Amino acid sequence: MTAVDAGMLTTADGRPLKDALARAEGRAKRRAFLLVAPLLIFILVTFVWPILQVLEQSVYNPKFSDNMPGMVSWFASHPVGTEPDEAAYATLVGDLKAAAEAKTVAVVGERVNYALPGTRSLFTAVGRKAKTLEPPFKESLIAVDPKWGDPDLWGVMRQVAKPYTGDFFLAAVDLERDKNGSIVRVNENERVYVNLFLRTFAMSAFITAICLVLAYPVAHLLAVLPLRQSNLLMILVLLPFWTSLLVRTTSWMVLLQEQGVINNILVALGIISDDGRLQMINNRMGTTIAMTHILLPFMILPLYSVMRPIPPSYVRAARSLGATSWTAFRRVYFPQTVPGIGAGTLLVFILSVGYYITPALVGGSSGTLISNLIAFHVNKSNNWSMAAALATILLVAILILYWLYDKLVGIDKLKLG
């Protein structure tokens, strides 16, 4: 070996060793990259990209700004508090005429309606009459509907003229801007999201805890039984995986409903009276039972995967060293299963936080979760920005959880199998 200087190693013919290494291994690395490239592209297209879209949509809503360019520039050039003059109304009518032509006036109305309910028809009505409007526009618009003179409406239009807005996030935590632009809580009878977020996290935590309590002994049994029996048990554990989620959920409906199997059996056995049938579905109990059942394998499998390789000799060693069976479990067995507990808990919690079909079917009104409202905004109300804001909060909450887990336990300790 010839050293050019003390700090740098070189190959026999004098090239820096690092370069030579990079060159020698570069080909293999490129080939390896090509092999994973399809997956990488797939993930980018189907996972990362949609999530970025969702993030953008939660703060970006150009429905007003795209279709009302005149108003956007008018708001830009006139500060807050400017009394809208005839020129402003002329600009508004011009925009409305163009929007009516392009059939987008209802889209604008919808955007304004999110911020100020009851204004959608203001726009659609004017849209139909836009061609007939004559100067002076202020008078003729107010003649169509006096609400056009309402300073609140103008204040809201100024707000929604900005395509980027935090309003959806405010709404997602039951806040709104009042007339002066300061942030206040929405009316008490319209507060829903904070309550649902809290319920979602509380129920998820509860379901996760039940799953852990139920799964731990099962996973242990799976890990210590002879292969033949454990395989059979494993099939029973996995059976739910091979059944459609809908089938499983509807089976629970059959079992739990008021005239369902369980109630019928209890009545037949005389444990409860016919009038005293238990309400086990369309409430939190229904959601908890069905989700626990569905998510149980996600707890069992990571636990099993950490328990299986733990040789029985550890506990035996502890016992031979003088530990009672409880001490041996607590000091020797349990600590070694912590990575599986972490993985299973995290997995079940994250899955249940985002669960949607099961609470929708068996949750009634008290057992619905935040994801049901996200679905509502996607499918029914078509307020995607709202859905995106709610989904983003959920995502951030989970990331925080993940970060917390990393701080407390360490992500490298996570063991999924």
Given the complex with other proteins, which of 81 and 226 has the nearer CB atom? Answer: 226
Of 20-28, 32-40, 217-225, 323-331, the segment contacting other proteins by CB under 8 A is 323-331
Cα 123 to Cα 105: distance, rounded to the nearest angstrom? 6
In the complex, what is the shortest distance from the CB of residue 100 to other proteins, in angstroms, rounded to a whole number? 10
**Cα four-point dihedral sign 93, 94, 98, 99:** negative
Contact set for other proteins, span 271-310 (CB under 8 A): 282
Strand, helix or coil for residue 176: strand
Closest by alpha carbon to 215, among 278, 328, 317, 307? 307
Given the complex with other proteins, which of 14 and 311 has the nearer CB atom? Answer: 311
Looking at residue 413, what DSSP letter applies? G
In the complex, what is the shortest distance from the CB of residue 195 to other proteins, in angstroms, rounded to a whole number? 5
> Of these, 71, 95, 110, 371, which contacts other proteins (CB under 8 A)?
110
Cα 60 to Cα 361: distance, rounded to the nearest angstrom? 32
Q: Based on the shown chain and the rule CB under 8 A, indicate whether residue 394 belongs to the binding site for other proteins.
A: no
Given the complex with other proteins, which of 2 and 259 has the nearer CB atom? Answer: 259
Q: Based on the shown chain and the rule CB under 8 A, indicate whether residue 91 belongs to the binding site for other proteins.
A: no
DSSP secondary structure string for all residues of 128-155 = HHGGG--SSHHHHHHHH-GGGG-HHHHH
Residue 95 CB coordination number (10 Å): 21
86, 100 contact by CB (below 8 A)? no
Q: Based on the shown chain and the rule CB under 8 A, indicate whether residue 379 belongs to the binding site for other proteins.
A: yes
Given the complex with other proteins, which of 77 and 132 has the nearer CB atom? Answer: 132
Which helix (H) or strand (E) segment holds residue 183: the answer is strand 183-185
Q: What does each C-alpha distance from 107 to 72, 76, 265 come to in angstroms? A: 16, 21, 55
Match 């490298």 to its residue by tokens: 412
Phi, psi of 175 (to 5 degrees): -120, 160
Class of residue 173 by CB neighbours under 10 A (exposed 0-12, middle 13-18, buried 19+): middle
Q: Based on the shown chain and the rule CB under 8 A, indicate whether residue 73 belongs to the binding site for other proteins.
A: no
Of 78-86, 113-121, 209-217, 233-241, the segment contacting other proteins by CB under 8 A is 113-121
Q: Based on the shown chain and the rule CB under 8 A, indicate whether residue 40 belongs to the binding site for other proteins.
A: no
Of 147-155, 222-230, 317-325, 349-357, the segment contacting other proteins by CB under 8 A is 317-325
Output the six-digit token pair for 65: 């700004």
Residue 287 CB coordination number (10 Å): 28
In the complex, what is the shortest distance from the CB of residue 105 to other proteins, in angstroms, rounded to a whole number? 7
Sequence-distant (≥ 6) Cβ neighbours of residue 124 within 8 angstroms: 105, 106, 109
Match 């390896």 to its residue by tokens: 32
Contact set for other proteins, span 1-20 (CB under 8 A): none
> Of these, 33, 43, 44, 53, which contacts other proteins (CB under 8 A)?
53
Q: Based on the shown chain and the rule CB under 8 A, indicate whether residue 246 belongs to the binding site for other proteins.
A: no
Given the complex with other proteins, which of 208 and 372 has the nearer CB atom? Answer: 372
344, 302 contact by CB (below 8 A)? yes
Of 145-153, 296-304, 366-374, 403-411, the segment contacting other proteins by CB under 8 A is 366-374
> Of these, 257, 287, 292, 371, which contacts other proteins (CB under 8 A)?
257
Of 68-76, 134-142, 371-379, 392-400, the segment contacting other proteins by CB under 8 A is 371-379
Contact set for other proteins, span 115-174 (CB under 8 A): 117-121, 124, 127
Beta-strand ranges (E) seen in 34-100 are: none
Query: Which positions lie near other proteins, rule CB under 8 A?
Result: 45-46, 49-50, 53, 56-57, 60, 62, 102-107, 109-110, 113-114, 117-121, 124, 127, 189-192, 195-196, 199, 257-259, 282, 311, 313-314, 316-325, 327-328, 331-332, 335-336, 360, 364-366, 368, 373, 376, 378-384
